[in-house]
Structure 1
């Protein structure tokens, strides 16, 4: 059993040497990368070829190249060795204090709702972590743009991503000020909005959001019109309080104004709930200790996640 174990260790080292030779097309270059002597590289390759019974490397005084068998072996070994390296890195990460940079991509609203409440606590608890948070309403490609994770509506999470629910369903509210309602009246059904001044929302992509309503299984999508278009939902709330028109925004943004009487709900039985927010990250990528710590703290501070 000990001889078998030693043989496997020898093969693992030989595979590492072989891939270094394949990458550098040079015994000397591989030796430099691995911190061993060129003769040790040559001895390892010879031993591997003898054990496998096939020539893997063509070598002359001027060049080193892989044989067909060597190319086939290298193609099979690369992903296997990468998986081993990742597994070892994962184990190593588990014993380390969270550190390094964690890059997060999210809309400004999501950053305010999800990240802002935990930022001070997180950075105080993990001083070796640097958070790089990019506000972006365009829903950038998380992997392509080099982010570790993003915050998205549940319905917008790419299929190849792992998602962690961090907010329950988000309900929308149509609201207007008492002054506006006194002047222009209340819409009774969504189609009435065509006769009202509405405060529109523009995504960073340039697309104008069309208001979505639902009642008893009947869906209505209204392409509203009005005197003002904004890219910031809190500003939409303020504009509605100022009497400019009707706003359609996430319910949590208007709670204070509704309580204080600055705004009044409209079309309440038509206002739907949408799937909430998720923190998502690539399923094929190792999750750093910094990102894992951030996810755990968000869960710790989110009643929906912590108690569901």
Structure 2
């Protein structure tokens, strides 16, 4: 069949159901002449007549009845599939795939992603976290989440405006026993939880004050590559940890952990959602971007 095959098949089914070219033409929004031409084209391509036509009646041939019986259910399924897809343009539904780094995902999970799911329960969010930066188009993601300085230049970015900073913390009992660092080099005298980057390299703790950056290659009894594990070690009194403030905010508020060197940890680059320019985005995608923009404005 030609590229217009679905229209041609719908025409055959409409005539078979109505028993009239005129009634079928009205149903399809075509002229009787245009409909007759469509059927003639189908019959030429199939090499058989589908309808017996007289001036007073239209009926299916034996070949026509066989054709309609087999094609009818398939066309109905195609129409239903198209209706489902079109509905996604109006009602948020389907799946959104988001690639993010773990810390960023934790920061937006409750205030943005879960809030979105409560508002649009027919949408499923597939949130994948990994340390490496991926090509979200090649990997089949709708959206990426990274800090603003890591967003590819050919992507559209939506700033989330979330205040972010690092936090140096330990338990109050640890600091009571070992003293509180006043400047970053004081950390050399402390047991610190070392951090391993996704590429295997050790992470240097970053500080800045009055425009002067400082990096400290700390030492300590354990090296970990996941913030949740580091948090456990710090809460157990093993030593001093270096986190995104959001990861230990509740612990600080509950006084399970104490923050130091706060004047050396100024706000950092904000988070951004990003995506390629696209035509005809789904309703779910449009709704998520809209909520993200609202979230970004209120978070500033």
Report TM bin, short chain.
Answer: 0.5 to 0.7
1:169 aligns with 2:163: yes
1:305 matched to which residue of 2? 297
Q: In the superposition, relative to structure 1, how do residues 116 and 231 fare at CA in structure 2: closer, same or farther (>3 Å)?
A: farther
Contact 2:107 2:246 in 1 (8 A): no
Q: Which runs of 5+ in 2 are unaligned?
A: 10-37, 42-85
Contact 2:98 2:143 in 1 (8 A): yes
Calculate the TM-score normalised by the size of structure 1.
0.64
After superposition, residues 230-269 of structure 1 pair within 5 angstroms as: 230-269=224-263
String of CA shifts for 1:163-199, please: whole Å, max 9, x gaps. Answer: 1111333111111222222332232321222332211
Q: In the superposition, relative to structure 1, how do residues 198 and 145 fare at CA in structure 2: closer, same or farther (>3 Å)?
A: same
Contact 1:171 1:251 in 2 (8 A): yes
1:220 matched to which residue of 2? 214
Q: In the superposition, relative to structure 1, how do residues 155 and 93 fare at CA in structure 2: closer, same or farther (>3 Å)?
A: farther
Q: In the superposition, relative to structure 1, how do residues 126 and 188 fare at CA in structure 2: closer, same or farther (>3 Å)?
A: closer
Distance between the aligned counterparts of 2:89 and 2:141, measured in 1?
24
Contact 1:98 1:128 in 2 (8 A): yes
- 1:121 deviation in Å? 4.5
2:283 matched to which residue of 1? 289
After superposition, residues 73-84 of structure 1 pair within 5 angstroms as: none
String of CA shifts for 1:83-117, please: whole Å, max 9, x gaps. Answer: xxxxxxxxx78962223221111123322221334
- 1:29 deviation in Å? 6.5
User: Out of 176, 183, 189, which is 2:183 matched to?
Assistant: 189
- 1:134 deviation in Å? 1.2
- 1:236 deviation in Å? 2.0
String of CA shifts for 1:125-169, please: whole Å, max 9, x gaps. Answer: 434422222122222221121101011111111111111111333
String of CA shifts for 1:245-289, please: whole Å, max 9, x gaps. Answer: 111112223333223332222222211221121111113565332
Distance between the aligned counterparts of 1:294 and 1:167, measured in 2?
16
- 1:296 deviation in Å? 2.1
1:99 aligns with 2:84: no
Calculate the TM-score normalised by the size of structure 2.
0.65
SS of the counterpart of 1:114? helix
SS of the counterpart of 1:145? coil
Q: In the superposition, relative to structure 1, how do residues 98 and 261 fare at CA in structure 2: closer, same or farther (>3 Å)?
A: closer
Distance between the aligned counterparts of 1:199 and 1:138, measured in 2?
22
1:122 aligns with 2:116: yes
Distance between the aligned counterparts of 1:120 and 1:173, measured in 2?
25
Distance between the aligned counterparts of 2:203 and 2:117, measured in 1?
35
- 1:32 deviation in Å? 6.0
Contact 1:200 1:225 in 2 (8 A): yes
Q: In the superposition, relative to structure 1, how do residues 35 and 256 fare at CA in structure 2: closer, same or farther (>3 Å)?
A: same
2:64 matched to which residue of 1? none
CA RMSD of aligned residues (A): 3.1
SS of the counterpart of 2:186? helix
- 1:211 deviation in Å? 0.9
2:203 matched to which residue of 1? 209
Between Structure 1 and Structure 2, how many residues are aligned?
Answer: 229
Distance between the aligned counterparts of 1:95 and 1:177, measured in 2?
51
Q: In the superposition, relative to structure 1, how do residues 132 and 270 fare at CA in structure 2: closer, same or farther (>3 Å)?
A: same
Contact 2:159 2:270 in 1 (8 A): yes
Q: In the superposition, relative to structure 1, how do residues 229 and 306 fare at CA in structure 2: closer, same or farther (>3 Å)?
A: same
